[in-house]
Amino acid sequence: MTAAKISVQCCIAGGGPAGMMLGLLLARAGVDVLVLEKHADFLRDFRGDTIHPSTLEVMHELGLLDDLLKLPHQKTRELNGYFGGLALTIADFSHLPVRCPYIAFMPQWDFLNFLDTHASRYPTFRLKMQSEVTELSEENGRVVGIKGTSPEGPLEVRASLVIGADGRHSIVRARAGLPVVEIGAPMDVLWFGLSRCPADPETTTGRFDVGRIFIMLNRGAYWQCGFVIPKGSVENLRAKGLPAFRDSVTQLAPFLADRVGELQEWNAIKLLTVKVDRLTQWYRAGLLCIGDAAHAMSPVGGVGINLAIQDAVAAANLLAEPLRKGQPTTEDLGRVQQRRMLPTRLTQRMQLFIQNRVIRRVLSSTDTLTPPFPVKLLARFPFLRRIPARLIGIGVRPEHVR
Protein backbone atom coordinates (compact mmCIF):
# COMPACT_ATOMS: atom_id res chain seq x y z
CA MET A 1 0.00 0.00 0.00
CA THR A 2 1.47 3.40 -0.91
CA ALA A 3 1.74 5.88 1.90
CA ALA A 4 -0.48 8.98 2.03
CA LYS A 5 1.82 12.02 1.83
CA ILE A 6 1.16 15.25 3.71
CA SER A 7 3.28 18.39 3.81
CA VAL A 8 3.07 20.87 6.72
CA GLN A 9 5.18 23.52 8.40
CA CYS A 10 5.05 21.77 11.78
CA CYS A 11 4.19 18.15 12.58
CA ILE A 12 3.56 17.37 16.25
CA ALA A 13 3.74 13.77 17.45
CA GLY A 14 1.35 13.35 20.39
CA GLY A 15 -1.93 15.01 21.31
CA GLY A 16 -1.38 15.34 25.08
CA PRO A 17 -1.33 18.68 26.91
CA ALA A 18 2.01 19.72 25.33
CA GLY A 19 1.10 18.77 21.75
CA MET A 20 -2.46 20.13 21.79
CA MET A 21 -1.46 23.43 23.39
CA LEU A 22 1.43 23.91 20.96
CA GLY A 23 -0.86 23.00 18.04
CA LEU A 24 -3.38 25.61 19.16
CA LEU A 25 -0.76 28.32 19.68
CA LEU A 26 1.02 27.73 16.36
CA ALA A 27 -2.25 27.62 14.42
CA ARG A 28 -3.27 30.86 16.15
CA ALA A 29 0.04 32.35 14.94
CA GLY A 30 -0.78 31.32 11.35
CA VAL A 31 1.51 28.28 11.18
CA ASP A 32 0.27 25.24 9.26
CA VAL A 33 0.30 22.52 11.92
CA LEU A 34 -0.64 18.83 12.07
CA VAL A 35 -0.99 16.96 15.39
CA LEU A 36 -0.81 13.16 15.19
CA GLU A 37 -2.35 11.27 18.12
CA LYS A 38 -2.14 7.49 18.23
CA HIS A 39 -5.33 6.93 20.23
CA ALA A 40 -8.86 7.22 18.83
CA ASP A 41 -9.95 9.71 21.51
CA PHE A 42 -8.68 11.52 24.60
CA LEU A 43 -10.70 9.28 26.90
CA ARG A 44 -8.12 7.32 28.79
CA ASP A 45 -7.48 6.23 32.34
CA PHE A 46 -6.54 8.78 34.93
CA ARG A 47 -3.36 10.48 33.83
CA GLY A 48 -3.44 13.67 35.81
CA ASP A 49 -6.35 16.03 36.05
CA THR A 50 -4.72 19.03 37.69
CA ILE A 51 -4.90 22.41 35.98
CA HIS A 52 -2.68 24.73 37.94
CA PRO A 53 -2.88 28.54 38.32
CA SER A 54 -0.09 28.97 35.70
CA THR A 55 -2.14 27.07 33.09
CA LEU A 56 -5.32 28.96 34.02
CA GLU A 57 -3.32 32.17 33.50
CA VAL A 58 -2.32 30.97 30.02
CA MET A 59 -5.98 30.21 29.27
CA HIS A 60 -6.89 33.74 30.39
CA GLU A 61 -4.22 35.21 28.11
CA LEU A 62 -5.80 33.24 25.25
CA GLY A 63 -9.24 34.62 26.13
CA LEU A 64 -10.49 31.09 26.89
CA LEU A 65 -10.61 31.05 30.69
CA ASP A 66 -14.31 31.77 31.18
CA ASP A 67 -15.32 29.06 28.70
CA LEU A 68 -12.89 26.55 30.25
CA LEU A 69 -14.29 27.15 33.72
CA LYS A 70 -17.80 26.39 32.43
CA LEU A 71 -16.67 22.74 32.17
CA PRO A 72 -17.27 20.65 35.31
CA HIS A 73 -14.35 20.96 37.70
CA GLN A 74 -13.48 21.16 41.39
CA LYS A 75 -11.39 23.97 42.89
CA THR A 76 -8.73 23.27 45.51
CA ARG A 77 -7.31 26.28 47.34
CA GLU A 78 -5.09 24.35 49.73
CA LEU A 79 -3.37 20.97 50.03
CA ASN A 80 -3.56 19.35 53.44
CA GLY A 81 -1.47 16.62 55.01
CA TYR A 82 -1.51 14.32 58.02
CA PHE A 83 1.82 13.06 59.36
CA GLY A 84 0.84 10.39 61.81
CA GLY A 85 -1.12 12.51 64.30
CA LEU A 86 0.08 15.90 62.98
CA ALA A 87 -2.41 17.73 60.70
CA LEU A 88 -1.11 20.61 58.60
CA THR A 89 -1.66 22.65 55.45
CA ILE A 90 1.16 21.92 53.00
CA ALA A 91 0.36 24.53 50.35
CA ASP A 92 -1.97 27.53 50.41
CA PHE A 93 -2.70 28.87 46.91
CA SER A 94 -5.03 31.66 48.02
CA HIS A 95 -2.19 34.25 48.18
CA LEU A 96 -0.86 33.69 44.66
CA PRO A 97 -0.84 36.84 42.51
CA VAL A 98 -2.91 35.27 39.71
CA ARG A 99 -6.49 35.41 38.42
CA CYS A 100 -7.28 31.90 39.68
CA PRO A 101 -5.48 31.16 42.98
CA TYR A 102 -6.49 27.51 43.05
CA ILE A 103 -5.94 24.18 41.31
CA ALA A 104 -8.83 23.21 39.04
CA PHE A 105 -9.39 19.44 38.90
CA MET A 106 -10.84 18.60 35.50
CA PRO A 107 -10.73 15.32 33.55
CA GLN A 108 -7.79 15.56 31.16
CA TRP A 109 -9.99 14.45 28.23
CA ASP A 110 -12.32 17.43 28.83
CA PHE A 111 -9.34 19.76 28.80
CA LEU A 112 -7.86 18.21 25.63
CA ASN A 113 -11.25 18.22 23.85
CA PHE A 114 -11.57 21.88 24.80
CA LEU A 115 -8.15 22.67 23.28
CA ASP A 116 -9.13 20.73 20.16
CA THR A 117 -12.43 22.63 19.78
CA HIS A 118 -10.66 25.98 20.01
CA ALA A 119 -7.65 25.00 17.88
CA SER A 120 -9.99 23.68 15.17
CA ARG A 121 -11.34 27.20 14.66
CA TYR A 122 -8.04 28.07 12.97
CA PRO A 123 -7.88 26.91 9.35
CA THR A 124 -4.20 25.99 9.72
CA PHE A 125 -4.84 23.43 12.51
CA ARG A 126 -5.32 19.73 11.83
CA LEU A 127 -5.55 16.87 14.33
CA LYS A 128 -5.36 13.31 13.04
CA MET A 129 -6.43 10.68 15.54
CA GLN A 130 -5.41 6.99 15.42
CA SER A 131 -2.23 8.13 13.73
CA GLU A 132 0.97 6.79 15.25
CA VAL A 133 4.45 8.06 14.54
CA THR A 134 6.82 5.12 14.11
CA GLU A 135 9.91 6.53 12.33
CA LEU A 136 11.65 9.79 11.56
CA SER A 137 12.54 10.74 7.99
CA GLU A 138 16.01 12.22 7.65
CA GLU A 139 18.01 13.85 4.87
CA ASN A 140 21.68 14.79 5.32
CA GLY A 141 21.42 14.51 9.12
CA ARG A 142 18.33 16.72 9.31
CA VAL A 143 14.90 15.45 10.38
CA VAL A 144 12.53 16.33 7.54
CA GLY A 145 9.38 14.54 8.65
CA ILE A 146 7.88 11.37 10.11
CA LYS A 147 6.59 8.03 8.96
CA GLY A 148 3.66 6.42 10.67
CA THR A 149 0.34 4.68 10.42
CA SER A 150 -3.19 6.00 10.19
CA PRO A 151 -6.65 4.41 9.75
CA GLU A 152 -6.24 4.91 5.99
CA GLY A 153 -2.86 3.10 5.93
CA PRO A 154 0.79 4.19 5.98
CA LEU A 155 1.42 7.89 6.39
CA GLU A 156 4.38 10.11 5.51
CA VAL A 157 4.50 13.69 6.70
CA ARG A 158 7.11 16.16 5.49
CA ALA A 159 7.63 19.11 7.82
CA SER A 160 9.97 22.05 8.41
CA LEU A 161 9.87 21.04 12.08
CA VAL A 162 8.92 17.83 13.90
CA ILE A 163 7.91 18.15 17.56
CA GLY A 164 8.17 15.16 19.88
CA ALA A 165 5.31 15.67 22.35
CA ASP A 166 4.63 11.95 22.63
CA GLY A 167 5.07 11.60 26.37
CA ARG A 168 7.39 9.77 28.71
CA HIS A 169 7.78 6.72 26.47
CA SER A 170 8.51 8.96 23.48
CA ILE A 171 9.30 7.13 20.27
CA VAL A 172 10.45 10.41 18.72
CA ARG A 173 13.18 11.00 21.27
CA ALA A 174 14.28 7.36 21.03
CA ARG A 175 14.47 7.47 17.21
CA ALA A 176 16.29 10.83 17.35
CA GLY A 177 18.87 9.33 19.72
CA LEU A 178 18.71 12.29 22.10
CA PRO A 179 20.76 11.81 25.30
CA VAL A 180 18.77 11.08 28.49
CA VAL A 181 19.74 11.40 32.15
CA GLU A 182 17.77 8.93 34.29
CA ILE A 183 17.12 10.45 37.71
CA GLY A 184 14.91 7.79 39.30
CA ALA A 185 12.43 7.71 42.16
CA PRO A 186 11.96 5.61 45.30
CA MET A 187 8.26 5.00 44.72
CA ASP A 188 5.47 3.86 42.43
CA VAL A 189 1.83 4.86 42.77
CA LEU A 190 -1.37 2.80 42.62
CA TRP A 191 -4.30 4.91 41.38
CA PHE A 192 -7.98 4.06 41.85
CA GLY A 193 -11.33 5.71 42.39
CA LEU A 194 -13.73 5.34 45.34
CA SER A 195 -17.12 7.00 45.59
CA ARG A 196 -17.46 10.17 47.66
CA CYS A 197 -20.29 10.88 50.10
CA PRO A 198 -21.70 14.32 51.00
CA ALA A 199 -20.49 13.99 54.61
CA ASP A 200 -16.85 13.34 53.55
CA PRO A 201 -14.14 15.96 54.09
CA GLU A 202 -13.86 18.52 51.27
CA THR A 203 -10.14 18.97 50.96
CA THR A 204 -7.52 17.22 48.89
CA THR A 205 -5.31 15.42 51.37
CA GLY A 206 -2.09 13.44 51.75
CA ARG A 207 -1.92 10.96 54.64
CA PHE A 208 1.57 9.91 55.72
CA ASP A 209 1.80 6.97 58.10
CA VAL A 210 4.37 4.34 59.04
CA GLY A 211 5.54 2.83 55.73
CA ARG A 212 2.61 4.26 53.75
CA ILE A 213 1.41 7.36 51.92
CA PHE A 214 -2.13 7.86 50.71
CA ILE A 215 -3.29 10.75 48.52
CA MET A 216 -6.97 11.63 48.11
CA LEU A 217 -8.11 14.08 45.46
CA ASN A 218 -11.66 15.40 45.74
CA ARG A 219 -13.25 14.82 42.30
CA GLY A 220 -16.82 15.69 43.26
CA ALA A 221 -18.70 12.40 43.01
CA TYR A 222 -15.61 10.31 43.75
CA TRP A 223 -12.20 10.30 45.38
CA GLN A 224 -9.22 9.83 43.11
CA CYS A 225 -6.89 7.90 45.39
CA GLY A 226 -3.14 7.41 45.07
CA PHE A 227 -1.51 4.74 47.23
CA VAL A 228 2.25 5.30 47.22
CA ILE A 229 4.41 2.16 47.52
CA PRO A 230 8.17 1.52 47.53
CA LYS A 231 9.48 1.19 43.97
CA GLY A 232 9.06 -2.27 42.49
CA SER A 233 6.99 -3.60 45.42
CA VAL A 234 3.67 -4.02 43.62
CA GLU A 235 4.01 -7.80 43.26
CA ASN A 236 4.59 -8.19 47.02
CA LEU A 237 1.49 -6.14 47.66
CA ARG A 238 -0.59 -8.17 45.20
CA ALA A 239 0.67 -11.42 46.75
CA LYS A 240 -0.81 -10.33 50.10
CA GLY A 241 -4.21 -10.13 48.42
CA LEU A 242 -6.88 -7.53 47.78
CA PRO A 243 -8.51 -7.78 51.26
CA ALA A 244 -5.16 -6.83 52.87
CA PHE A 245 -4.86 -3.87 50.47
CA ARG A 246 -8.40 -2.74 51.30
CA ASP A 247 -7.52 -2.94 55.02
CA SER A 248 -4.47 -0.73 54.45
CA VAL A 249 -6.66 1.87 52.75
CA THR A 250 -9.16 1.79 55.61
CA GLN A 251 -6.41 2.17 58.21
CA LEU A 252 -5.23 5.34 56.48
CA ALA A 253 -8.71 6.78 55.88
CA PRO A 254 -11.21 5.05 58.20
CA PHE A 255 -14.22 6.87 56.68
CA LEU A 256 -13.67 4.86 53.47
CA ALA A 257 -14.47 1.58 55.28
CA ASP A 258 -18.05 1.52 53.94
CA ARG A 259 -16.93 1.69 50.26
CA VAL A 260 -13.48 0.18 50.04
CA GLY A 261 -15.36 -2.97 48.93
CA GLU A 262 -15.81 -1.20 45.56
CA LEU A 263 -12.28 -2.46 44.85
CA GLN A 264 -13.28 -5.93 43.66
CA GLU A 265 -10.31 -6.72 41.41
CA TRP A 266 -6.74 -5.56 40.85
CA ASN A 267 -7.77 -4.33 37.39
CA ALA A 268 -9.52 -1.41 39.08
CA ILE A 269 -6.15 -0.31 40.49
CA LYS A 270 -3.70 1.15 37.98
CA LEU A 271 0.04 1.16 38.54
CA LEU A 272 1.97 4.34 37.74
CA THR A 273 5.62 3.33 37.47
CA VAL A 274 7.23 6.58 38.52
CA LYS A 275 9.99 7.70 36.21
CA VAL A 276 12.03 10.88 36.46
CA ASP A 277 14.41 11.78 33.66
CA ARG A 278 15.37 14.56 31.29
CA LEU A 279 17.12 14.99 27.98
CA THR A 280 20.42 16.84 28.13
CA GLN A 281 19.71 18.01 24.58
CA TRP A 282 16.09 18.54 23.52
CA TYR A 283 16.66 19.09 19.81
CA ARG A 284 18.39 18.11 16.60
CA ALA A 285 18.25 19.83 13.22
CA GLY A 286 14.55 19.72 12.27
CA LEU A 287 13.32 18.27 15.58
CA LEU A 288 12.48 19.38 19.13
CA CYS A 289 11.10 17.46 22.14
CA ILE A 290 8.87 19.11 24.75
CA GLY A 291 6.75 18.05 27.75
CA ASP A 292 7.24 14.57 29.17
CA ALA A 293 9.15 13.58 26.01
CA ALA A 294 11.87 16.02 27.11
CA HIS A 295 11.51 15.46 30.87
CA ALA A 296 9.39 12.87 32.68
CA MET A 297 8.41 14.42 35.99
CA SER A 298 7.88 12.85 39.39
CA PRO A 299 4.22 12.99 40.52
CA VAL A 300 5.34 15.13 43.51
CA GLY A 301 3.34 18.35 43.27
CA GLY A 302 1.37 17.10 40.25
CA VAL A 303 3.21 19.52 37.96
CA GLY A 304 3.69 17.39 34.81
CA ILE A 305 0.75 18.80 32.81
CA ASN A 306 1.58 22.35 33.69
CA LEU A 307 5.25 22.03 32.79
CA ALA A 308 4.20 20.51 29.48
CA ILE A 309 1.91 23.50 28.83
CA GLN A 310 4.67 25.95 29.78
CA ASP A 311 7.04 24.24 27.31
CA ALA A 312 4.38 24.59 24.62
CA VAL A 313 3.95 28.32 25.30
CA ALA A 314 7.72 28.91 25.22
CA ALA A 315 8.10 26.87 22.01
CA ALA A 316 5.28 28.79 20.29
CA ASN A 317 6.69 32.15 21.41
CA LEU A 318 10.16 31.33 20.10
CA LEU A 319 9.35 29.28 16.99
CA ALA A 320 6.18 30.73 15.39
CA GLU A 321 8.12 33.46 13.59
CA PRO A 322 10.96 31.21 12.29
CA LEU A 323 8.34 28.67 11.17
CA ARG A 324 6.34 31.29 9.27
CA LYS A 325 9.56 32.33 7.52
CA GLY A 326 10.77 28.80 6.75
CA GLN A 327 12.84 26.33 8.75
CA PRO A 328 13.80 27.05 12.38
CA THR A 329 17.57 26.74 12.84
CA THR A 330 19.18 24.63 15.57
CA GLU A 331 19.90 27.95 17.33
CA ASP A 332 16.15 28.70 17.33
CA LEU A 333 15.46 25.23 18.78
CA GLY A 334 18.28 25.62 21.31
CA ARG A 335 16.58 28.79 22.60
CA VAL A 336 13.54 26.74 23.65
CA GLN A 337 15.74 24.34 25.61
CA GLN A 338 17.67 27.25 27.10
CA ARG A 339 14.43 28.87 28.24
CA ARG A 340 12.85 25.72 29.70
CA MET A 341 15.84 23.81 31.10
CA LEU A 342 16.13 25.94 34.25
CA PRO A 343 12.46 25.47 35.29
CA THR A 344 12.76 21.75 34.53
CA ARG A 345 15.94 21.28 36.56
CA LEU A 346 14.75 23.34 39.52
CA THR A 347 11.36 21.61 39.60
CA GLN A 348 12.97 18.17 39.42
CA ARG A 349 15.42 19.22 42.15
CA MET A 350 12.51 20.22 44.37
CA GLN A 351 10.79 16.90 43.61
CA LEU A 352 13.96 14.95 44.44
CA PHE A 353 14.27 16.82 47.73
CA ILE A 354 10.73 15.73 48.69
CA GLN A 355 11.28 12.20 47.34
CA ASN A 356 14.45 11.72 49.37
CA ARG A 357 13.74 13.72 52.51
CA VAL A 358 10.09 12.87 52.98
CA ILE A 359 8.76 10.04 50.79
CA ARG A 360 11.73 7.68 51.10
CA ARG A 361 11.80 8.21 54.88
CA VAL A 362 8.10 7.59 55.32
CA LEU A 363 8.05 4.49 53.10
CA SER A 364 11.03 2.93 54.87
CA SER A 365 9.77 3.69 58.40
CA THR A 366 8.75 0.62 60.38
CA ASP A 367 8.14 2.09 63.83
CA THR A 368 6.65 5.44 64.79
CA LEU A 369 6.64 8.25 62.25
CA THR A 370 8.31 11.49 63.25
CA PRO A 371 7.55 14.32 60.81
CA PRO A 372 10.63 15.18 58.72
CA PHE A 373 12.24 18.59 59.31
CA PRO A 374 10.63 20.40 56.30
CA VAL A 375 7.21 19.23 57.52
CA LYS A 376 7.89 20.49 61.04
CA LEU A 377 8.86 23.86 59.57
CA LEU A 378 5.61 24.09 57.58
CA ALA A 379 3.59 23.18 60.67
CA ARG A 380 5.40 25.75 62.80
CA PHE A 381 5.47 28.72 60.38
CA PRO A 382 2.18 28.94 58.43
CA PHE A 383 3.47 31.65 56.05
CA LEU A 384 5.95 29.06 54.64
CA ARG A 385 2.95 27.33 52.99
CA ARG A 386 3.16 30.03 50.35
CA ILE A 387 6.47 28.60 49.07
CA PRO A 388 5.17 25.16 47.99
CA ALA A 389 2.04 26.92 46.69
CA ARG A 390 4.17 29.13 44.46
CA LEU A 391 6.41 26.29 43.25
CA ILE A 392 3.46 24.03 42.49
CA GLY A 393 0.95 26.64 41.34
CA ILE A 394 3.10 28.97 39.23
CA GLY A 395 6.50 27.31 39.03
CA VAL A 396 9.81 28.77 38.00
CA ARG A 397 9.93 31.30 35.14
CA PRO A 398 6.24 31.30 34.14
CA GLU A 399 5.55 31.72 30.42
CA HIS A 400 3.12 34.21 28.90
CA VAL A 401 1.33 33.91 25.57
CA ARG A 402 2.61 36.38 22.99
Ligand X SMILES: Cc1cc2nc3c(=O)[nH]c(=O)nc-3n(C[C@H](O)[C@H](O)[C@H](O)COP(=O)(O)OP(=O)(O)OC[C@H]3O[C@@H](n4cnc5c(N)ncnc54)[C@H](O)[C@@H]3O)c2cc1C
CB of 259 to ligand X, least distance (A): 21
* CB atoms inside a 10 Å sphere around CB 304: 24
Half-sphere exposure of 80 toward its Cβ, with a 13 Å CA cutoff?
14
CB of 108 to ligand X, least distance (A): 7
* CB atoms inside a 10 Å sphere around CB 63: 10
What is the H or E stretch that residue 334 is in?
A: helix 330-354
CB of 104 to ligand X, least distance (A): 12
Nearer to ligand X, 185 or 308 (CB): 308
Beta-strand ranges (E) seen in 183-336 are: 187-195, 204-209, 212-218, 222-230, 270-272, 277-279, 283-284, 287-289
Among 81, 107, 167, 343, binds ligand X (CB under 6 A): 167
287, 272, 288, 294: which is closest to 344 by C-alpha?
A: 294
Nearer to ligand X, 290 or 379 (CB): 290
User: CA separation (Å) from 316 to 86, 133, 163, 170, 294?
Assistant: 45, 22, 11, 20, 16
Nearer to ligand X, 62 or 369 (CB): 62
CB of 199 to ligand X, least distance (A): 25
Residue window 36-75: x/- pattern of binding to ligand X, with contact defined by CB under 6 A: xxxx------xxx-x-------------------------
Among 133, 157, 228, 379, binds ligand X (CB under 6 A): 133
Asked if 14 touches ligand X (CB under 6 A), the answer is yes
* Contacts (Cβ under 8 Å, ≥6 apart) of 356: 186
Among 11, 91, 115, 297, binds ligand X (CB under 6 A): 297
Nearer to ligand X, 80 or 306 (CB): 306
Nearer to ligand X, 16 or 206 (CB): 16
Between vectors from CA 111 to CA 176 and to CA 124, what angle results, nearest 5°?
60
Nearer to ligand X, 359 or 379 (CB): 359
CA 387/CA 400 separation, integer angstroms: 21
Asked if 299 touches ligand X (CB under 6 A), the answer is yes
Binding site for ligand X (CB under 6 A): 13-19, 36-39, 46-48, 50, 132-133, 165-167, 171, 191, 272, 291-293, 297, 299, 302-306, 308
